[in-house]
Structures are given as structure tokens and as C-alpha cells.
């Protein structure tokens, strides 16, 4: 673990400043930097064999990729909030029906993952554990599901436009 302490002392401030530049949010920058070192701690074996230059590059890549993952997750949640009105779905029967209708449009494999993530509020790691698939595959399926729903909704919107004409 001394390699993590060494990397922390050497690169923490640089990573935090880099994160601040890309997020423009001090709290999120702090979270990104901390998560980068948490991931570094779980990859000590890899870091031990990398050169100093590659270690630094690895840290910055992890930070950037984690930020991208967070942004994708937020975008996915915003789209679900807009399209499915999940907050009101519990109390509003129409909104709940809309949400269930959208969920039913998904292929079964995607439906299961989306249901677990947004209705059961499971993390991608928890879903991966229950389905015995990699965490990255869960995130990929979530992105695939939102793209699928976007295409379906675009078709429905276009159909409605023609119906009104």
C-alpha cells in the first residue's frame, strides 16, 4: 500500500485540479480524485509493474473515465426522469402506467437490468453480482436501453406528428 501513499502524495493535487477543470465543481472534483485512488488501491499489482510515467497516465485516465461514467449515469437518469416521471409514478397511476409501458418496450434482458437499476435502486455492481456478468456490461446494457427507448420515442413522436396533420 505504500505505492498508493506515494502516488497520493505526488499526484493528488494534480488530479484534483484536473478534475476541477473538467467538472467546474469542487465537490465533484474531490469525489473524482478520491475515487481514482480507491480504484488505484484495488489495482496495486498493476501499478507496481508500470513505470512512473504510465502510473501517472493510468491515474488521469481512471479519473477521466470515471467522470464519463458519472456523466452517462446522470444523463440516463435525467432522461428517465423526463420520460417516465419516476418521482410521480408512485402516486400518479397514469405516470406509473407510462413508466411500465416504456419498460415493456425493452427486450427482456435490458428490461431486467433497467428494472433492477431504477425501480429496485440497485447499483451496477449489485446487478452484475446477481446476474454474474461484469459491471461494465451492466453499464453498457443501461446505455443500450436508453438508446433503444430514444429511438422508440422518436418514432412515436413522429407518428403523432403525422396523426395531427
User: What's the confidence (pLDDT) of residue 161?
Assistant: 40
User: What's the confidence (pLDDT) of residue 131?
Assistant: 87
SS3 for the chain is CHHHHHHHHHHHHHHHHHHHHHHCCHHHHHHHHHHHHHHHHCCHHHHHHCCHHHHHHHHHHHHHHHHHHHHHHHHHHHHHHHHHCHHHHCCCHHHHHHHHHHHHHCCHHHHHHHHHHHHCCCCHHHHHHHHCCCHHHHHHHHHHHHHHHHHHHHHHHHHHHHHHC
Dist CA 126 CA 132 (whole Å): 10
- CATH number for domain 2-71, candidates 1.25.40, 1.10.1740, 1.10.3470, 2.40.50: 1.10.1740
User: What's the confidence (pLDDT) of residue 87?
Assistant: 43
pLDDT tens-place string over residues 61-93? 999 988 887 777 665 555 555 544 444 445 555
pLDDT tens-place string over residues 110-133? 888 888 887 788 888 888 888 889
Domain boundaries, the chain: 2-71, 85-164
> Which CATH topology does 85-164 take?
Arc Repressor Mutant, subunit A (1.10.10)
Q: Give residue 155's pLDDT band: very low, low, confident or very high (50, 70, 90).
A: low
Amino acid at each position: 500500500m505504500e505505492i498508493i501513499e506515494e502516488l497520493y502524495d505526488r499526484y493528488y493535487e494534480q488530479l484534483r485540479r484536473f478534475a476541477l477543470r473538467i467538472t467546474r465543481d469542487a465537490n465533484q472534483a474531490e469525489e473524482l480524485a478520491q475515487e481514482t485512488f480507491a480504484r488505484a488501491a484495488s489495482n496495486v499489482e498493476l501499478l507496481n509493474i508500470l513505470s512512473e510515467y504510465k502510473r501517472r497516465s493510468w491515474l488521469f485516465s481512471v479519473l477521466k473515465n470515471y467522470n464519463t461514467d458519472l456523466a452517462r449515469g446522470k444523463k440516463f437518469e435525467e432522461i428517465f426522469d423526463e420520460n417516465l416521471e419516476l418521482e410521480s409514478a408512485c402516486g400518479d397511476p397514469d405516470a406509473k402506467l407510462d413508466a411500465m409501458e416504456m419498460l415493456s418496450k425493452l427486450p427482456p434482458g435490458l428490461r431486467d437490468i433497467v428494472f433492477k437499476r431504477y425501480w429496485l435502486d440497485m447499483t451496477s455492481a449489485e446487478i452484475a453480482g446477481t446476474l454474474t456478468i461484469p459491471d461494465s456490461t451492466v453499464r453498457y446494457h443501461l446505455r443500450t436501453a436508453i438508446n433503444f427507448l430514444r429511438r422508440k420515442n422518436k418514432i412515436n413522436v413522429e407518428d403523432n406528428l403525422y396523426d395531427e396533420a
